[in-house]
A and B are shown apart, each in its own frame.
Chain A
Amino acid sequence: MKAEDILIALGDIDESLPQICDEPFPKRITPIRMKWISAAAACAAAILLSTVALTHRSVRPPVTEDTTSAEYIGITAAEQTTLPAADQETKSERERDTAMYAIPSGAVTRLPRETVQTAQQSDTWTNAATSAAQWNQPSRAITTTQARGSSLEESSGYVKATQRVPSQQTTTTAPSLSGALLPGQYPDLMYQGRQYTSRGSSDLQGKTGRSLGTAVLYGSDGDPDSGTQAELFIIPDISADAAVAVQFSDGSCFAYVNTQYAPDTLGELMDGLNLRANLTYGNVIVREDGYEATTFPAPEQSAFWSLFDRAAKPDASGNRHTETVTIQVQLPLLGYSSASVGLTADGYLILPIVQPGNAYYIGEERVQAFLQSVRG
């Protein structure tokens, strides 16, 4: 065994174990700290007893400006004379310091101000918060994100380019409509009783067909006054049942897809989206044992399209299909820059284009024949 083996094997421990590092680092309780905590507990008990005593007092002594703090903790006028002079202190300071003078026996003793602060454990919390903040290090990471802008696709060649929103904003504040692209501001469109959803990364300017008229799109913030009018167009060779182009007043034009589009057969879906012309494909990822994946280069055209059994019907069983083969595909006309076609061992083709998760039974033989051609 080598030292390297230990560091590598650490990566395979239960993944929830390292999450403890997100917690604040626990403070060690030293004997000295224990003594301070005991004193603080005594102070807290004294305050509680004093409050109870004050509540049950039948006759209160007359309150003067100089006896305010003493009155609050329920000590007698004679005892007040033992208090240190507070001429230089303001009233609020005296009120805050009342805890310093109270101990359970009722006698008046001065405890250092630090004792009271320890009672509140302010330093512990501050250190804990600092520790957590340093570990999570949001500032550096967010700076990196912002500096790199939206170039994920450039660096990996796979992950689609997106408009980044800093994590800090998305987790703590509601997104502002004004900063988003128009499809982000107006994600939904109702047209002829069908609901279409924006595909923000598509750009159809100058690529549209005939006009379908106008429609009003409403904002994602739910404000009915924030609607905007846009003109709808046909996307050439794509059924308007499946997707339309929406041109906003600034001239930008984006695809909106009908996520409920469900033709009877895979062939009709292929025709409605003109997949043979618009769909491109890339690598094939095969999972041998459920986790480890082997990537194969893009197969021949004939092998890929042989999967698309035109007569296949969508699976209406509602069963969830576990895909073992993933084919990276793109449909840039509709803004799908990193989608995928899935294949299952039991002969289903999963095509999450337009309508998410649609599965078509194409038969195990087709899947096996495809895998053979991919593996060469």
Chain B
Amino acid sequence: MTDQGIIQLYWNRDERAIQETDTVYGAYCRTISGTILCSDEDAEECVNDTYLHTWNAIPPQRPDKLRAFLGRICRNLSVDRVRKKAAKKRGGGEWNVALEEMEMCVPGGEEPEQVVENDVLAKSLEAFVRALPERERILFLRRYYYLQPVSDLAAACGLRENTVNVTLHRIRAKLKLHLEREGFGL
């Protein structure tokens, strides 16, 4: 079934929408969630939550690209879950590693704990990602959006792990500079 067909089912409040979503995008969502959570059981629950959120969001929303829409919901729900796990010291997997890596991007300032509006930061990050060359953009998003482990990332992109690490390090340095220029460290 096409995206538009599935979305129409959601608008008609037809429960087959969830079945069709799972048929077409179930594997995709499980891959995103499984990568972030490193647990099939948690991933399955997260995917079901993704369907529930989608059911609640459509209508009124009518996404242009259902795959991207589901991907974002699934990613954010998985991140929420992995943060809770990490807070309870029950394992945070790649989340903890990615956090450590990202520490170097936090601009230094007089108020390191300065509260930042999430949407303002998101807009700035979006501009930064758009400005990256294609290869770097893919590596950055795979690593920090989908939290893909460096070893998997290297294998998927046909690169050596060292190359990936060095490239990511350079991107993070660029990001820090970008955030400082945008005034996040002031």
**Interfacial residues, chain A to chain B (CB-CB below 8 A):** 1-21, 23, 25-28, 127, 130-131, 134-138, 140-142, 144-145, 148, 152, 155-156, 158-160, 162, 164-165, 167-168, 170-171, 285, 287, 290-291, 293, 320, 322-324, 326, 336-340, 342, 350, 352, 356-357
Contacts and interface: CB of A to CB of B under 8 A. Distances in A.
A354 to B, nearest CB: 11
Contacts of A322: 59-60
A304 B30 CA distance: 36
Contact of B158 (A2, A25, A357): A25
Contacts of B100: 3
B88 interface: no
A59 B9 CA distance: 70
Given A1-B106, A135-B142, A140-B34, 14 more contacts: A1-B107, A1-B184, A2-B113, A7-B99, A9-B125, A11-B145, A13-B126, A131-B158, A144-B43, A156-B45, A156-B48, A160-B15, A326-B56, A336-B15
A167 B26 contact: yes
Contacts of A130: 158
B26 A135 contact: no
Interface in B43-59: 43-45, 48-49, 51-53, 55-57, 59
A134 B155 contact: yes
Q: Which 3 A-B pairs have the closest CB atoms?
A: A141-B27, A156-B48, A12-B122
A152 B22 CA distance: 10
Contact of A145 (B26, B144, B152): B26
Contacts of A134: 152, 155-156
Contact of B30 (A145, A170, A287): A145
B174 interface: no
B85 to A, nearest CB: 14
B82 to A, nearest CB: 10
A230 B112 CA distance: 73
Contacts of A290: 60-61
A10 B13 contact: no
Contacts of A12: 76, 118-119, 122
Given A5-B121, A141-B27, A21 B138 contact: yes
Contact of A7 (B64, B102, B129): B102
9 contacts: A6-B125, A7-B95, A7-B102, A17-B137, A131-B157, A159-B52, A285-B56, A323-B59, A338-B15
Nearest to B111: A1
B4 interface: no
Contact of A141 (B30, B79, B98): B30
Interface string B110-133: 001111101101100110011000
Nearest to B123: A13
Contacts of B160: none
